Structures are given as structure tokens and as C-alpha cells.
A and B are shown apart, each in its own frame.
Chain A
Amino acid sequence: MRPAPVATVAVFLDLLREARAPMAAGELKRRLGALGVERAEAAAAWRRAQRVLRRVARYDPDTRTYEWAALAPAQALEELLRSDLDGAERTALAQTVRTALAERDDLEQRLRQAYRSTWQAGGERQTRTRAESARALARVAMEVEELAAAGAAAWVMVERVRTLVRMCDLEPIGRAGEETGYDGARHVAVGGPARAGARVSVIRPGYLWRDGDDEVLLDRAQVAPV
């Protein structure tokens, strides 16, 4: 035969949890008796536990019934800090707080993982895109340096650069030093506005990028009035 339990708040809470329904004090004491607790002992235990139960279980003053309710972690912590609890009650409450903290840590961890994975994925995409651009630029740099060491004329270097950028679907707008009519769609005038068709000289060419059928204006040519 199982020994009769020591009737504490935790035992009454167990009874309420198992019942899954509101219970009056009499019914709780009767169930305690069914577990082998003496009648007088059950009554004394009830007197000790009643005050705490009103706080930690759901108490309905109209029907004078008690119903099991999960204790919020903060409430469990408050209870834990009270001095009138025995060891078993403290352990149960501490477990509630411990579980809540573990769940919170888990949730925080998952939130951080979700954030980091999205951030890293974005970063990796950007890295790949930047690496492609950097590779194209590196090819230009390598070739220019080789040509310079070989004593190539400036116009040869410019032609090579234009060939290389054309391989990246880039199309130059104007040539540095050439004179042309001002076209606001393709030119930006340095030092103030210019009239359409006005004579300007190209200081730095611009570039268009052809993406399939689309044409993206990357930079207008910088021009100055002649």
C-alpha cells in the first residue's frame, strides 16, 4: 500500500490538475481522504494550504470552487520568494520558472538563428555579386598594367579597356576629350546647366549597361562647356 501523501499545496494542486474541473473545499478534502489521509489531518492541511491556493489556483468566490491553472512564470517566481513554502512546493515552483527560462532562451535562440540566416544569406548574395564585379574589374586592371609595362600607347589601353567592358555588356557614352552637342539624357554638365545641343567637351565618358532588352543608365558622361 502506498503511504498517505503529506498534504501540501502541491498535493492539492495535483488533485485539481487531475480533476480538470473546479472543486469545492469539501470535495478536495474527500479526495485527500481517499488517498489515505486522516480526516483531521486533511482538515488541518486544508487550513494551511487554503490561503496559498487562492493565489496559485483559479478561485471563484461565487461558487467557492478552485480550479487548476498553470502558474505564469513571474507569478511562480513571486511565490518562490515567499517564505511560507515547504521544499516540495519550492521545487515545483522553481521548475515552472526554470522551464519558462529555458523556453525563453530557446525562443531567443531561434529568433537569432532566423535573423542571422537571413542576414548571412543576404550577405552571401551580396558577396557573390560583388565578387563578380570585382573579377571583371580585376581583368581590366591586370590587362592595363601589362600593357603599361609593355609601353603601350594610351589609345591602345583605352581600346583594350573598352573591349573588356563591352564583354560586361557596358556601352560607353562619348569619349574623353571629344566635342559634342549637349544631351541631358546622356550628359551631365559640370559647373551649371547647359542648353540642349550646346557645344560641350566630354571630360569623362558615361556608361550604359544592357541587361537583355533593358538598358540601364549607370552614369551619364560628364561634360563641360567648350
Chain B
Amino acid sequence: MTSAAVGGQPSEVGVDFGTATTFVAARSLAGPAQVVPLGRSTPWLPSLARADGHAIVAGEDADDGNGATIRSVKAAITQRRTAVTGWGPDGPVTVPADTVVAAVLAEAARRAGAAGLALDNGCPVRLGCPVLWDGGQRRRLLDVAGAAGLAVDESRLIEEPVAAGLAWLTHSYLGRGERPEGRLLVFDMGGGTLDIAVMAVSAGPRPRVAVLGAAGSAVAGDALDTEMARDMAAEMAARGVDVTLSGRPEVAWALLERAARETKTRLSHVDEHVVMLPAPLRYPHPVRYDRTRLEAAFRGQMDGAETLALSALRTARATRQPLTAAELRAVSRSSLADDVDFVLLVGGMSRIPYVQRRLAACFRRARIYRHAGGAADEAVVAGLAGTGEEEVTLHRPGFDLVLEWGEGRRVFYEAYTPLFEPWQIYSGYSELVYERWLRPPEVPDRGEGRVRAFGLSRREVALELDGRIGPLPVRFCSDGVALRLTGDGAFELRDLGGVTALRADGWPMPAGSIGGGDGGRLVLSRARGSPSR
């Protein structure tokens, strides 16, 4: 493997491209991950950009008021938008989102190079992505990162909560001399998003992570700022000052949100913060904001976050054992909470004592960890700059399954598609499986075809059954053909020959293309009583 060098030491390199900040870290063989300073006065690069004619300026200079500043460009991939709009003194400016993402990543690489860590020389890097992104979103980030000069492939695209979990496992084993083994829930609440993942983990020289379930939401720290700002506005209104009637309501509201954000941060350290609102708000009275008031504003949001965590735990149950929706619905919240052995808090919002207290009360049996060896907002990049020796399996296939015949071709399953949606658990009749029927005339009604697997880079993933490697044969009939997949690796094909029940030992991480090698392999075994194919 090609290695980057920090001070002449070989290292693994991670790039955490976040909604607000981008981190780069490298790891020497026996040391912890070291964050490479990218910002002018911060360890991170602000994930900001500004269109400057045909060029894009990324980083701190993008916010210098000389044009339209573009924020949260990562959300464009999450929301499948192709363009992003920034607001400047001359009005809105719209540019292609991928160009902006590439500019931010290229700037991060340039600054890492200036700090002694060259990333543009083919050195493989590991890149993070949200756990809920599907194959198309991941492929898009890989393509853009490639265009930005980063050597990254699908095997090096690690889900962010998984990366945080890996950092925690490595630090537990090497830093604390422990070998935790059990169920880990990563709770990653930042400004813009909340990401939750449930994993079966074990620490050791080769940390092992099996993702069992995940959930995400766009309601996070910024939503709390808004709620607190509303609360302050209500207090002002009670004394006769209505911010909506201000000469510049958007400025008044921004000033309130700014005060709320600051209050939120201060209340992680003190019990009460006295807010003196700035002069343009024309409210000369002190606003006394204490933790009780913050918790009241935050309660509803944390209720939702807990429900989301329990939803991820329900998915995790179905990943490990075949359960019907009815069976899963019958599992109580406390029983689900008892599945968790460890909780890892990641992201800026995890500093709030109320978050820690709520999660400790919800997951009574679990040990709560607030750091994975470094700052809460550096856990993801620390895990990305891992040992490279980790074993990760997923709760859904990380490759496309394609049905082919003659000149025809249909996608049976698209990489990273959830095998079932959370709503299915609450619906009346759903089986918690992925099932897709392809029927004539979409496919032939006679003759033979085959199922093949392809990674995000479109390289073929070898399917191995009964010691033989090759496509899985399919015989068409007038009823069509069907594919069923479950989180625990059940793989069922239905065709003219009946039902062929196969099983994979979990869904492996895709193989990479950097440094050659094949596209990886999925080993299937025949479930008992299943006919030969």
C-alpha cells in the first residue's frame, strides 16, 4: 500500500468532509491519529465556498464578503441537488454542487500538502460518508473526490458512525488496554444532522465492526438554536418588543439565533447564562437563561432523537434474526435499550450535559463514552485515519445485483438500498425483507439469464457458490423472477426452478480498486433443502 508521510512516518490518512468543517488526519503505525492543521487558526477547514468568476474559492476566504458564500454544500448530495445557491450583496449565485464539493476537497488536500502531508500523489485516503447515503450518493462523492485529486475508492469510503466506532475501539484497545465487545450505539449530533448507528463490535489488533442498523435526521444543533431563539423572542414579546416588527426582521432574527447559539455553548459549562442582547434588538433587559430553560426547549427534540435511536435498534434486531414486523413491534423500548452495551457520543452537541443525561437514562445498562481518544468533533476523522486492519461488515449489500440475459439487463438491487424502511415495522403486513419481482415483459418469460454483482466502481464482485465462482443462473418463466434479501445475509432467488435459498455470512465491505486486485467476493452457501443451481 502506498503511504503518506508525516514527519517521514508511514500513515493512514482520513478525510472527514463535514457539512460545516473538513478535517484531515494521519496515523503512524503505532500512534494515535494526528489531526493535520488546515485552517488559518483552527484544526479544520471551513466547508465554505464562493464563486469567483469561473473559479471557486474554498475555506475562510469564501466568507470575506466579496461574493456569494455557499454553505453546507454536503447537504446537496444528501438532498440530491445538482446545484447550490449562495447569497451575496448582488443577490443569489447558483453553481454546480459537485464543483463546489471538489473545490473544498482540493483546498483541504492543498493545505494538508502545505502542512507536510501530500495527498495529491496517489496516496490512498479514507473518506467518510453518512450511513444513510445510498449507492448513487456514495458514487457521486467518490467521483467528485477523484476529480479533486484524492485517491479514494469504494473500499475506502467509510460510514461516519462506523469510523467513530473504529476510533473508539482502537483507543480502547491501545490507549486504555481494554477489549470491549458487545453492542455499540454511536450518537453523532452535530449542527446540521443527527446520525445514529448500532454495531456489534469487538476491540483487538483487528477491530471488528458489524453494522446492524442506522437512522438519521436533519434535526440537530441548529434546530435547538432556532427553538431557543423563539423562546427569547417570546420573552421579549412579553415585555412589548416584537422582533417580527423590527425594521430588519431577518437581521433581528439572526442576532437572536447568534445569542441562542452562544447561550447553548455557555450552558455546557455553567448553570445559568445572562444574555445581553445587542443594541439593534432594542431590548435592554437581561435575559436569564438557565439549564432548565434550555432543557425545556430541547426536550421535544431529544424525545425524537431517542425514538430515532430505538428505531435503529429495532432495525438492528431484524438484522441479526428473522423477525416479522408484528414481532418487532411487540418489542418494548426498554428491551431495545437493553441491547446496548456502550454508547459513544460524537459531534459538538454531545458536549451538552442534557444529551449525556438523557442517553444515560435511556440506555441504563450501557456505559457512556464521551470521547474516542480525542475531541468529540475529531472522532470520525480519527477513525478514518485508522489502522487499515479493521474488519467491517454492513447491514445491506454494498454492491448492485443485476439480472442479465442476452442483450437485456435489469438492476435487481441497487447498492446500499435499505432492505426495509422503518415505516414497514409499523405497517400491518410487512415482512422485513428486500423483495423485488421482475416480471414479463420487463424480463423474458422463457430462457435463461444470470445474476451478477457490481461494486460502485462498476467492477464485478465475484459470486461464489458451492466452491464455484460465476454468475448465478436464472430460468425465466411467465411469473417472472424474484430476489429477496435480509440483513442477516439471506439471499433468495425465485424462478422457474422454484426457490433457491442461499446465505452470505453478512454483507462485506466492497473491495477497492486502488493498487489493483479484483472487485471482491461474496461467498454464498446453500440453505438446507435448497435445490442445486
Contact A203 B255 (CB under 8 A): yes
A183 interface contact, C-beta 8 A: yes
Q: Tally of A-B residue pairs with Cβ under 8 A?
A: 90
Number of residues in A with C-beta < 8 Å to the partner? 36
Closest A residue, CB atoms, query B65: A184
* 0 or 1 for each of A114-144: is its CB under 8 Å from B? (1 = yes): 1110110010000000000000000000000
Contact A192 B255 (CB under 8 A): no
Having A108-B205, A185-B65, one finds 19 other A-B pairs with CB under 8 Å, namely A112-B174, A112-B177, A114-B30, A118-B32, A119-B31, A177-B279, A185-B64, A187-B65, A190-B251, A190-B258, A193-B65, A193-B87, A193-B89, A195-B89, A201-B280, A203-B278, A217-B40, A217-B60, A220-B63
Measured CA separation A111–B205 after assembly (Å): 10
Contact A191 B253 (CB under 8 A): yes
Contact A196 B250 (CB under 8 A): no
The 3 closest A-B pairs by CB, nearest first: A184-B65, A191-B251, A191-B254
Residues of A within 8 A of B31 (CB): 114-115, 118-119
* 0 or 1 for each of B235-274: is its CB under 8 Å from A? (1 = yes): 0000000000000101111110010000000000000000
CB proximity to B under 8 Å, residues A34-83: none
* 0 or 1 for each of B165-188: is its CB under 8 Å from A? (1 = yes): 000000001110100000000000
Chain A nearest Cβ from B283, distance in angstroms? 14
A196 with B30, Cβ < 8 A, contacts A112-B177, A190-B254, A203-B280 known:
no
Closest B residue, CB atoms, query A104: B205
A188 interface contact, C-beta 8 A: yes
Would you list 30 pairs from A and B whose C-beta atoms are within 8 A, ordered by A residue?
A112-B174, A112-B175, A114-B31, A115-B30, A115-B31, A115-B174, A116-B174, A116-B175, A119-B373, A122-B32, A177-B279, A182-B65, A184-B64, A185-B64, A185-B65, A188-B65, A189-B65, A190-B255, A191-B248, A191-B250, A191-B253, A192-B250, A193-B89, A196-B65, A201-B279, A201-B280, A203-B279, A217-B40, A220-B63, A224-B251
Contact A216 B88 (CB under 8 A): no
A218 interface contact, C-beta 8 A: yes
Measured CA separation A177–B175 after assembly (Å): 50
Chain A nearest Cβ from B15, distance in angstroms? 20
Chain A nearest Cβ from B12, distance in angstroms? 14
Residues of A within 8 A of B258 (CB): 190, 222
Contact B41 A193 (CB under 8 A): no
CB proximity to A under 8 Å, residues B3-61: 28, 30-32, 34, 40-41, 60
Chain B nearest Cβ from A134, distance in angstroms? 13
Q: Which of A194, A198, A203 has the most CB of B within 10 A?
A: A203
Chain B nearest Cβ from A114, distance in angstroms? 4
- Point out residues on B near A: beta carbons under 8 Å: 28, 30-32, 34, 40-41, 60, 63-66, 68-69, 87-89, 173-175, 177, 205, 248, 250-255, 258, 278-280, 373
- Point out residues on A near B: beta carbons under 8 Å: 108, 111-112, 114-116, 118-119, 122, 177, 182-185, 187-196, 198, 201, 203-204, 209, 216-218, 220, 222, 224-225
Chain B: interface secondary structure? mixed
Measured CA separation A88–B175 after assembly (Å): 41
Residues of B within 8 A of A201 (CB): 279-280
Chain A nearest Cβ from B113, distance in angstroms? 19
Measured CA separation A198–B177 after assembly (Å): 59
Closest A residue, CB atoms, query B253: A191
Residues of A within 8 A of B255 (CB): 190-191, 203, 224
Residues of B within 8 A of A185 (CB): 64-65
Residues of A within 8 A of B254 (CB): 190-192
Chain B nearest Cβ from A213, distance in angstroms? 15
Contact A115 B65 (CB under 8 A): no
Contact A193 B373 (CB under 8 A): no
Residue from B69, B87, B175, B253 within 8 A of A119 (CB atoms): B175
A111 with B174, Cβ < 8 A, contacts A182-B65, A190-B258, A192-B251 known:
yes
Measured CA separation A194–B87 after assembly (Å): 10
Residues of B within 8 A of A195 (CB): 89
Residues of A within 8 A of B253 (CB): 191
Contact A184 B279 (CB under 8 A): no
Chain A nearest Cβ from B85, distance in angstroms? 12
Residues of A within 8 A of B205 (CB): 108
Measured CA separation A187–B89 after assembly (Å): 14
Measured CA separation A190–B277 after assembly (Å): 14
Residues of B within 8 A of A191 (CB): 248, 250-255
A193 with B69, Cβ < 8 A, contacts A115-B32, A225-B248 known:
yes
Residues of B within 8 A of A118 (CB): 28, 30-32
Closest B residue, CB atoms, query A187: B65
Residues of B within 8 A of A198 (CB): 89
Contact B60 A224 (CB under 8 A): no
Measured CA separation A224–B31 after assembly (Å): 47
Closest B residue, CB atoms, query A217: B40
Residues of A within 8 A of B250 (CB): 191-192
Residues of B within 8 A of A209 (CB): 41
Closest B residue, CB atoms, query A107: B205
Chain B nearest Cβ from A218, distance in angstroms? 5
Chain B nearest Cβ from A203, distance in angstroms? 5
Residues of A within 8 A of B251 (CB): 190-192, 224-225
Chain A nearest Cβ from B95, distance in angstroms? 16
A216 with B65, Cβ < 8 A, contacts A112-B177, A190-B258, A196-B89 known:
no
Residue from A122, A182, A183 within 8 A of B34 (CB atoms): A122
